[in-house]
Amino acid sequence: MLLSDAIKIRIEYYLKENNMKLWQLYKKSGIPKSTIYAFMKSSNVLPKLDTLHHICEGFGITIKEFFDDEMFEETEQD
């Protein structure tokens, strides 16, 4: 699995876990909706680390918590 795919899966997981829609994540993270939408809809594109940090803040988690999943142990770089 590519790293970009794993990150998308994890974002979708936290959206479901927090009963959130993408527009709520835009508001809570402060990331423009066009940035998150472009990442979620495109293939092989990685978000910048600061963008991912703000997304994690929107979910109320740390970067460490975000990457604390076995799927990241077997990812390939995009």
Q: Please indicate whether residue 74 or residue 24 has the higher confidence score (pLDDT).
A: 24
Residue 45, classed as helix, strand or coil, is coil
**pLDDT attached to residue 78:** 63
Can you spell out the DSSP letters for 51-71? HHHHHHHHHT--HHHHH-SGG
Residue at token pair 């994690």: 56
The C-alpha atoms of residue 25 and residue 21 are separated, in whole angstroms, by 7
The domains located in the chain, with CATH, are: 3-74 (1.10.260.40)
pLDDT single digits (tens) 37-60 = 888 888 777 889 999 999 999 999
- What does R_g of the chain's alpha carbons equal in angstroms? 12
